[in-house]
Amino acid sequence: MKALIAAALLASSGFAATAAAQSVPPAATPAPVATAAAPTTPPRLIVAISVDQFSADLFQQYRNHFTGGFARLLTGAVFPSGYQSHAATETCPGHSTILTGMRPAHTGIVANNWIDQSVARADKTVYCSEDETVPGTDHNNYVVSDKHLKVPTLGEMMKAAHPATRAVSVAGKDRAAVMMGGHKVDELWWWDGKTYSSYAGRAVPRAVQRGRDAVAAMVAKPQPALPLPGFCQPLDRPITVAGTVYGQGRFERAAGDLKAFRASPASDAAVFAIAAGLIQDMKLGRGETTDIIDIGASATDYIGHSLGTQGTEMCIQMDQLDQTLASFFQTLDGWGLDYEVVLTADHGAHDMTERQQQHAMPMETHVSGDATIKAVDAAVSAALGLKGPVLVGAEGDVYLAKGLSPANRARVLAEAQKRFAAQPQVAAAFTRAQIAAQPFATTPPETWTLLERARASFNPAVSGDLLVLLKPRVTTIETPGPGYVETHGSPWDYDRRVPILFWRKGMAGFEQPLSVETVDIAPTLAATIGLPVHGLDGRCLDLDPGAGDTCAR
Ligand SMILES: [Zn+2]
């Protein structure tokens, strides 16, 4: 019953039957470990999974309940304190670190959206994975592009070393697929709100068409409530936010509701189904060199934003994702593939403000209208006698308006910094000069100062003139509304900490609770396939629990 949705979808996507026909041991039972503590040959396929918004706190909350795919990963190398170490903990920057080995300062992906006042179109907000030069577009109605990612991904490095390598990326969001896949990919597909899309002119592979058809058929029918696992029952409690009751949902869905599908376990099942179909059809992991597939599971993030993290909804999602991962791994096992898995997240998050207040966090609060860019812009314009707007912004980055004289730029910057810093909810307001002068931190990420976190997020080509960071437990949501009750993006550890899990058959596991970084993933995987990499922000993590060293091959 548990994996009903996933199983049905996977079956209709045409590969679950293959898995069912195989005799595979239960996912939670690891194979006995042989003499070697870590395999010494390169894996034939790298499977890099990002679970959007899968915080270290969610991992901690559910790790003892996992019996499926997560339980298998828990038998590998477990890093419960991975860090998306930068300040702007959003989806695009987070995904840009996972397979490049570089922080956003170097990937160029400092935020989901930034301001570029030099663009020709009326809308000066630029989305991280769009081509803003395409006529007729804006940052909400855009053409997907990889142009803003300034560094190669692991897949690209693998292809450069071995042209026979195949690299594939599939995700519930375009920015996840693009930032993990990079510029040179054999297939790159994402959910566009209606179906699975890629760049214009690409032929639709059969595996993607099967996924499209399966989802269309499934969404056309109403979805009854999913069963509530026993360990989720204590969370089954209502909370009302802005007139809507949350906390007891079970993913019931009316026929045709694509938005509800997106924020449900079935959308992750669909992405894994398509990934498996592409592995099968393209014979990934069966070539002369190691292949790579990147999988962006976005449902956890959509569920978190729209329903919070501490109700039945997230609990069911964790259970369903566990089962989806189990089905996926068993399918790969059934095909006899030698694959290496890494699973991590693009950022963390924490629960909706109103439920936080009931859960022993009375200080949890929404950002005040006084601390917004609009309010400070009005105050600065009035104080300096200038016609506004003098400030424009996107998220934490604030930019001086184009057209200000050099003298007025300096006055506006000083006045804006002073006024932001005076806001009781603001932790810090740094100028670009302050951030640029800060050397990159070389200490453990949990010890970084706010300025060091800001430095890891700063790229002079796109970052703001001022970076405003709110205090902990202040959400950037000014007023919650239906479908938007919780978010992330802060420089605080609840948004920075994510699990990093490595697994491969025959590998002896270990747990390292000290902090590591998501930029360590690319050099770590590269070492296991004997690919030399240089000049990355991350370091290789030795996945051998004994005297052997997977970084020294
Ligand atoms: Zn995200």
For residue 110, the tally of other CB atoms under 10 A from its CB is 32
Give residue limits of the domains in the chain: 4-102+152-357+491-514, 110-148, 368-424+426-470
How far is CA 470 from its chain centroid? 21
Q: How far apart are CA 520 and CA 47, in angstroms?
A: 16
Q: What is the pLDDT of residue 38?
A: 83
Q: How far apart are CA 125 and CA 158, in angstroms?
A: 34
Q: What is the pLDDT of residue 239?
A: 97
Q: What is the pLDDT of residue 8?
A: 53
Distance (Å) from CA 111 to ligand 1 centroid: 11
Residues 460 and 110: beta-carbon distance below 8 Å: no
Residues 227 and 1: beta-carbon distance below 8 Å: yes
Residues 458 and 110: beta-carbon distance below 8 Å: yes
Q: What is the pLDDT along the chain (553 residues), one digit of tens a residue?
A: 334 444 555 554 433 333 333 333 344 455 554 456 888 899 999 999 999 999 999 999 999 999 999 999 999 999 999 999 999 999 999 999 999 999 999 999 999 999 999 999 999 999 999 999 999 999 999 999 999 999 999 999 999 999 999 999 999 999 999 999 999 999 999 999 999 999 999 999 999 999 999 999 999 999 999 999 999 999 999 999 999 999 999 999 999 999 999 999 999 999 999 999 999 999 999 999 999 999 999 999 999 999 999 999 999 999 999 999 999 999 999 999 999 999 999 999 999 999 999 999 999 999 999 999 999 999 999 999 999 899 999 779 999 999 999 999 999 999 999 999 999 999 999 999 999 999 999 999 999 999 999 999 999 999 999 999 999 999 999 999 988 999 999 999 999 999 999 999 999 999 999 999 999 999 999 999 999 999 999 999 999 999 999 999 7
Which CATH code fits 368-424+426-470? 3.30.1360.150
Nearest residue to 88 via CA among 68, 104, 64? 104
Cα torsion 12, 15, 20, 24 to 10°: value is: -150
- Under DSSP, the state recorded for 129 is T
Distance (Å) from CA 367 to ligand 1 centroid: 20
Distance (Å) from CA 491 to ligand 1 centroid: 14
Residues 126 and 495: beta-carbon distance below 8 Å: no
Q: What is the pLDDT of residue 10?
A: 57
Distance (Å) from CA 175 to ligand 1 centroid: 9
Output Rg (C-alpha) for the chain, integer angstroms: 23
β-pair type (125-127, 365-366): unpaired
Query: Which residues lie across from 528 on neighbouring strands?
Result: none
Name the token pair of 416. Answer: 């804006």
> Which of 360-375 are b and which e, b meaning 16 or more Cβ less than 10 Å from the residue's Cβ?
eeeebbebeeebbbee
Residues 539 and 79: beta-carbon distance below 8 Å: no
Q: What is the pLDDT of residue 31?
A: 52
pTM: 0.94
Q: What is the pLDDT of residue 493?
A: 98
β-pair type (113-115, 77-83): unpaired
Supply φ then ψ for residue 295, to 5 degrees: -125, 120
Residues 46 and 525: beta-carbon distance below 8 Å: yes
CATH superfamily of 4-102+152-357+491-514: Alkaline Phosphatase, subunit A (3.40.720.10)
User: From start to end of 271-425, where are the E strands?
Assistant: 291-297, 339-344, 365-366, 391-394, 397-400
Active-site hit among 91, 300, 524, 550: 91
Nearest residue to 373 via CA among 157, 113, 73, 122? 113
Q: Which amino acid is at 517?
A: E
Q: What is the pLDDT of residue 36?
A: 60
How far is CA 224 from its chain centroid? 29
Q: What is the pLDDT of residue 315?
A: 98
Active site residue 133: no
Distance (Å) from CA 268 to ligand 1 centroid: 14
Q: What is the pLDDT of residue 156?
A: 98
> Which of 242-278 are b and which e, b meaning 16 or more Cβ less than 10 Å from the residue's Cβ?
eeeebbbbbbebeeeeeebbbbbbbbbbbbbbbbbbb
